[in-house]
Amino acid sequence: QNQNQNQNQNQNQYAHTTKSSTFSSRKSTTSSARSQQDQDFKNFMNMFDETVSSMSEEELNMAMGAASVVGSVIGSIIGARATKNRGGGGNSMITSAASMMGSAMASQAASTLVKSVHEDSRQRVLEREEREARIRRGEAVEEPRVDERERIIKDVFGTVRRV
């Protein structure tokens, strides 16, 4: 029985030590992991911008069309459900009208979002190329101060406002 108690105490001490060391190693790697995540996100955004900004007019129109179709279907469903939730579910004419309005609005929003993302990507690529050219010429260059995640949120809200 004493031997079992000693084993339990040793296991508890080991578990406490392991938890403490795990916590401190997590704490010390958190900032470097965050930095790595930020760099990975920046690399992804650069690759995304390069790809989207190089889309031809035909590819852009196809992407806008696909987004418009998906937006239309989703908007139609949301419009129909909105009338049912407000007690208008018995009137099929109101439900149909709401479904059509939702379809049209969401279709336009999706199409506008794709066009906006394309234009924003082109602008960011141009700005990055100009910054790199200034660096090659030896001119002083400030790094952009905008957080990429904040920029995405701003782009989405700007698109919603335009629609």
Please state the three-class secondary structure of the chain as a single string: CHHHHHHHHHHHHHHHHHHHHHHHHHHHHHHHHHHHHHHHHHHHHHHHHHHHHCCCHHHHHHHHHHHHHHHHHHHHHHHHHHHHHCCCCCCHHHHHHHHHHHHHHHHHHHHHHHHHHHHHHHHHHHHHHHHHHHHHCCCCCCCCCCCHHHHHHHHHHHHHHHC
Identify the residue with better confidence: 139 or 85: 139
Residue 130's pLDDT band (cuts 50, 70, 90): very high
**How much is the pLDDT for 142?**
80
Residue 125's pLDDT band (cuts 50, 70, 90): very high
CA distances from 146 to 65, 111, 124 (A): 31, 26, 12
For residue 112, pLDDT over 60 is answered with yes
pLDDT tens-place string over residues 37-82? 888 888 898 899 999 999 999 999 999 999 999 999 999 998 888 8
Selection from 121, 131, 130 nearest residue 155 by Cα: 121
Contacts (Cβ under 8 Å, ≥6 apart) of 61: none
Average pLDDT, the chain: 79
**How much is the pLDDT for 160?**
66
Dihedral, 85, 87, 90, 95 alpha carbons, nearest 10: -50
Instruction: Tell whether the torsion through CA atoms of 29, 31, 32 and 34 is positive or negative.
Output: positive
pLDDT more than 90, % of the chain: 36
d(CA 96, CA 108): 18
For residue 23, pLDDT over 60 is answered with no
Average pLDDT over residues 126-139: 91
Residues in the chain: 163
Contacts (Cβ under 8 Å, ≥6 apart) of 75: 102, 103, 104, 105, 106, 107, 109
Is the pTM of the predicted complex or chain greater than 0.95?
no
